[in-house]
Structure 1
């Protein structure tokens, strides 16, 4: 009943493209779409109408730009078969910067100040790219992204580039939540370089919460909690105590107060006198 055409970018200026500036045209070029000369576009229209397929995409692709996207890990999956498959596989297998070494490895041997410098350069260079600057050195890192000229489209492109470089799952609102180069670099540093937390910390925190709320619990809930703790302590004893059978028997026969006393002594949780 109809033919739908998803047109690429026409070189001839029209009402749709009259407000595009150099930054917009550079962004379109980086996306892998080359401008269509008018005679080529009209020939594609004739071909599409004669083809009879319900949906066609008359566009002129820029393969060097697509290879550059693959190299940076941001090539849309739907386009991967249009370029060298080995290049795509290699580039999407690791988040890395221009030096080919994964970012996480580069950061490991650096001091905190050096890590921030590395990440600042990463954000600034990618911001310069999406804005069409020839050099990142001209960007002021404390100026707002909107003030620098980023719009919603270039913000998405910047987020995608940083996602590919860092391997992090960055939020779609990254640029708006952290509106300067400095703030994004600081955010990446917190995500990539935060010290590993002790896995027992959340368990102890939860026990602290239970202890704080203990006096407000009903008798039934206290009894249920005591039973659960007895079961838990039995499991802990089986994995940690040499004479686990004897300890398990003691725990099964222990009162709630004895169980809480055990938690105080073994896990280092101090309860108040009135508790």
Structure 2
């Protein structure tokens, strides 16, 4: 009788041990897969770094203009400030009582900006000891950063100044793609109207004409500058929720669930 009770107790202990290990395995797998999604999301958000270069205070540029001079040696930097004056050829921005002049030749870059607005510019500073030193921007954005979220391409085209200098996400058909100067120039057409938006993308890609894509980046000067572009996945796809989730993982989890059910 004692042996029978001992055997039953041992059997119960083994069963509880197996159930405990199975619970731990399922928990570990869930946390692991969730971590993959979080890490993938973090990597995606860090891709778009072409606008985030060395941020130099205006005071440093005014006090040490030769250090940041790009006349002889190409150097791209970022500056922030508030617009204090908008002229036909030059814009003045100030920060902590220091100011610099900014080239306003390409007025499309500044569409929708007004005196008093916070602004961030990325480009080159050219020092002129005998005249006016000027900052020549490649990208212009509102500061602090403005995120507009998902926007229709047709809405951007019809009111470009509303979205200029802000971050947007668009979805459309890739109708053209070509490589130039270390970047891809891409045409994305609206799913509704067929209107086309020009995209400049830095990085590698295997996308081709005919793909439906999602693009996130800075819209500036009638161009969407993006470091994040990929095929548009179905909204209910598990790979959308957990990037990198494949059919192999699916079969693996189903197998674990079957084993778990057998031990219940």
Question: Under a length normalisation based on structure 2, what TM-score does the superposition of the two structures give?
Answer: 0.26
Q: Which is richer in helix?
A: 1
Greater strand share, 1 or 2?
2
Structure showing greater Rg: 1
